[in-house]
Amino acid sequence: MFGNGLSSSPSNTSDPFNGPNFPGVTIYDNVKAQHKLVTEGLGIAKLKLVTGFSMGGLQAFHWAAMFPEMVECFVPICGTAKCSGHNWLFLESLAVAIGTDPVFNNGNYTEYPSAGMAAFNTIYSAWAFSQEFFRQNGHENFGLKSHKQMPDVFRDLIGPNDPNDVLIHIRAWQNADISDNALYNGNFDTALKSIKAAGFIMPTSTDQYFWSDDNRDEAALIPNATFKEIPSIWGHAGGLLSQHDERRIVDNSIRELLGK
């Protein structure tokens, strides 16, 4: 996963491609690199199942569309085949929040832009969960006394990530589109219809990033896919499957696909 601080990333690449000079990457680029590793490095010709949550869900869609003869089953969890306009704008608000910190200096920072990343965590902590989660005092699940402390949860979960690394992920997410490549030349419907894998498209019922209706429309065009919503008040975070009922639904669905 380019940009995660472990694989090739702005934070660990040498000059002249370090920091803000790191080349932009897409979900397509990530999956192409994974395919090279799986086929050439590991000698694997068929994948029984590709699954993932959030950006992993974006990748699951790309795997199924880019390599339809290789992927037998796929289960995107809280992900779509293409970033929606609403999702794009949410992500842009995160990028703007980081960029407004004067310390950030267009990515050429010499000290950590703490204010920008604090704003990032505040925005993210509101959108990662649902309105119903907050209405039911969901913050108490984290041992907090108030919803006002939720940004601290995100700060602790994400950690002091390098902001340029974070921005690489944001841009990759924003540009996600299984048809934006030479194989499909922007024909989104054709890309969906070309997926041969059997699958369950699994959003949560309250995800504010990846809207259930988008998944429902996508599943309708994929020959062997079924839309299966995960009831959850946890919003996008429900896809982490931290709750027993959420996890059971996904586990049973995967077992069904694999015939076990």
Q: Is 207 a catalytic residue?
A: yes
For the chain, the straight-line distance linking the first and the last C-alpha, in angstroms and rounded, comes to: 30
Q: Is 54 a catalytic residue?
A: yes
- Give me the sign of the Cα torsion angle 56, 58, 63, 64: positive
Query: Which residues have C-beta within 8 Å of that of residue 48, sequence separation ≥ 6?
Result: 72, 73, 258
Interatomic CA distance for residues 182 and 184, integer angstroms: 6
Query: Which residues have C-beta within 8 Å of that of residue 244, sequence separation ≥ 6?
Result: none
Is the separation of the CB atoms in 210 and 79 below 8 Å? yes
Q: What DSSP character marks residue 211?
A: -
Q: Which of 207, 212, 214, 232 is catalytic?
A: 207
Q: Which of 54, 125, 179, 194 is catalytic?
A: 54
Q: Is 194 a catalytic residue?
A: no
Active site residues per annotation: 54, 207, 236
